[in-house]
Amino acid sequence: MQTHSVPAVALSTAPAAQGSGELLIVPVFEQDDLRDLDGLDQATGGDVSRAIASGEFRGKLYELFLTPAGRNGWRAKRVALVGAGPRGDFTTEHLRRTATAAALAARQRRIASISLVGRAHDRIDAPHAAQALAEGIVLANFNGGSYKTGDEPRVWIDSAELIFPGGDKSLERAIERGRVLGECSNVARELANEPSNALTPRIFADRAADLAKAAGLTVEILDETKIGQLGMGLLLGVAQGSLEPPRVIVLKHEPKGAPPSPVLGLIGKGITFDTGGISIKPAENMDRMKDDMAGGAAVLGATIAAARLNAPVRIVSVIPSTENMPSGTATKPGDILKSAEGKTVEVLNTDAEGRLILGDGLWYARQLGATHLVDVATLTGACIVALGKSTNGLFGNHDGWRDAVLRASERAGDRSWPMPTYPDYFEQLKSEIADFTNTGGRPAGAITAALFIKEFAGNLPWAHLDIAGTAWADETKPYQPKGATGVAVRTLAELALDAESWRHLR
Ligand code: BES
Ligand code: MN
Ligand code: ZN
């Protein structure tokens, strides 16, 4: 079953009247005068002004109003007004979501060709608007994977036109960027939605390898033998309870002419199912733990995007992948594991497995020459308690680097918020018999998890995104169906594309 499709997205610099899509989508602010869209009201026989005057359409965020058009020389047969909210509050993230909401509405009405009007806004320049609109449209061209037999065929948007009257041809690059970032977000969403029997570590590695090779990346898959030779005892300790062998997915982006440094190291948590291991989770909602590889999928999606958009920086991406299962061979609470770096860990809770596999993952990224590290993981329930379902926890050991990730996250529309990493918190990880434990108890659980990972960053600038709350939408929103969100794909890709702003950081 196909879960996503990438439409052709063209730029039109002609007036909106010439929009050639079947449906012409117009973002409308609250109390909008629509003065820049002269003739729109007449094209709809006065329906637009009537709907606004009666209050049927008020411009509330993601509100929709559809009506026939085509009079007054306008080409589109129908017009959709989509609410953009108060003009003063508007951001590129609202614009992206507005495009998604409108494109989803088109798909529901079996409309495959749309035109979208880029409205001028004093805080959003045309290239950023064009990119956000393209991203939003592609994000709408996604369905959660379905294993229902007899499913109806899906309607996809197959062509979209972005209307920037008098706009510059250079907007085409921004549109292509948005198109690729949207597609790579959908790739990550598709993988994170897969049930664990359809996406074991071996299958994840195979699918990642195919996708990455097609994008021109160098791919290496480490199997259990190689992982053992490298001494990755933390990863093996998590994997030993499972019949499925672990894998480490390694991707390299080596653009021609890029200087030897910096090397961006991206590390993603790839737990294809997290039962908790011997410290087993309660039955309720355990099915959700099929998405515990969303960080790994985000790293994969971002690395592919960076390759396809020729990001001007070297990248090594490392995705350790395993199941976390209880069994007669599983690691037990109190067991000691030895990391590839040599540090020993007392495993007090086998459900704190993400930080274990990331520890060996960070070490391996350093072995491969990474100079700047970012890891992404569905790491802690505590992060959901702290920041909820809309915002990533952002941690780091270097303020400048953490701020670079924060800026990238803002451009991407993936909300993140900086959290403290005072060394005092590390006392919670004290062990009687090993270098440290893998859990610091309930207080500040997201922070102690981050500080565990920090132990494996050496002296490199390192940042960590906890996406436990944001990787999965529990409720359908106008711009996001239930399920995997693709969070962090665009953040990491924006970071790679913007290497100029951080390459000097040490
Ligand atoms: N994958 C979970 C974190 C998680 C929980 C993600 C809920 C998404 C939704 C992680 O491996 C985990 O189990 N963390 C434990 C750590 C604890 C044992 C120190 C947690 O958060 O409870
Ligand atoms: Mn766990
Ligand atoms: Zn987990």
HSE toward the beta carbon, residue 281, CA cutoff 13 A: 17
Q: Give residue 175's pLDDT band: very low, low, confident or very high (50, 70, 90).
A: very high
For the CA of 441, the nearest atom of ligand 1: 19
- To test the ligand 1 pocket, which listed residue (348, 351, 356, 466) has its Cβ within 8 A of the most ligand atoms? 351
- What's the CA-to-centroid distance between 274 and ligand 3, angstroms? 5
Nearest to 215, CA basis, from 317, 136, 366? 317
Using the predicted structure, report yes or no on whether residue 153 has a pLDDT greater than 90. no
Task: Tell me if residue 355 is catalytic.
Answer: yes
pLDDT of residue 146: 82
Looking at the predicted structure, is the pLDDT value of residue 346 above 90?
Answer: yes
d(C-alpha 353, C-alpha 449), whole Å: 10
- Per-residue pLDDT tens over the stretch 372-421: 999 999 999 999 999 999 999 999 999 999 999 999 999 999 999 999 99
Sign of CA dihedral 18, 20, 22, 26: negative
Ligand 1 in reach of 333 Cβ (< 6 A): no
pLDDT at 154: 81
Reported pTM: 0.98
pLDDT score for 145: 74
What CA–CA distance (Å, rounded) separates 444 from 402?
19
- Helix, strand, coil % in the chain, rounded to nearest 5: 35, 20, 40
Name the catalytic one among 308, 355, 366, 411.
Answer: 355
Residue 417, CB half-sphere, CA atoms under 13 Å: how many? 13
Q: What mean pLDDT is predicted for residues 174-190?
A: 98
Per-residue confidence (pLDDT) for residue 27, from 0 to 100? 98
Residue from 380, 438, 464 to probe ligand 1 pocket by mutation (most atoms less than 8 Å from CB): 380
Ligand 1 pocket, residue 380 CB under 6 Å: yes
Name which residue sits closest to atom 13 of ligand 1, judged by CA: 351
Per-residue pLDDT of 36-60, as tens digits, reads 999 999 999 999 999 999 999 999 9
Rounded to whole angstroms, the Cα distance separating 302 from 180 reads 10
| Residue of minimum CA distance from atom 7 in ligand 1 | 381
| Position 465 confidence tier, pLDDT thresholds 50, 70, 90 | very high
pLDDT tens by residue, 88-98? 999 999 999 99
Query: What is the Å distance from ligand 1's center to 277 Cα?
Result: 12
| First-to-last C-alpha distance (Å) of the chain | 46
Question: Could you give the C-alpha distances from 297 to 143, 352, 353, 490, in angstroms and in order?
Answer: 17, 20, 17, 12
Q: For the chain, what percent of residues have pLDDT higher than 90?
A: 97
Tell me, using a 6 A CB cutoff, whether residue 292 lines ligand 1: yes
Q: Is the peptide bond before 262 cis (omega within 30 degrees of 0)?
A: yes
Active site residue 256: no
pLDDT above 90 for 422 = yes
- pLDDT at residue 454 tops 90: yes
CA of 172 to the centre of ligand 3 (A): 40
Average pLDDT over residues 429-444: 98
Among the listed residues 180, 224, 183, 230, the one whose alpha carbon sits nearest the alpha carbon of residue 205: 224
Going along 70-134, which residue ranges are E strands? 78-85, 113-117
What's the pLDDT at 344?
Answer: 98
**Which atom, in ligand 1's list, is nearest to the CA of 440?**
19
Q: What is the mean pLDDT of residues 218-246?
A: 98
pLDDT at res. 151: 75
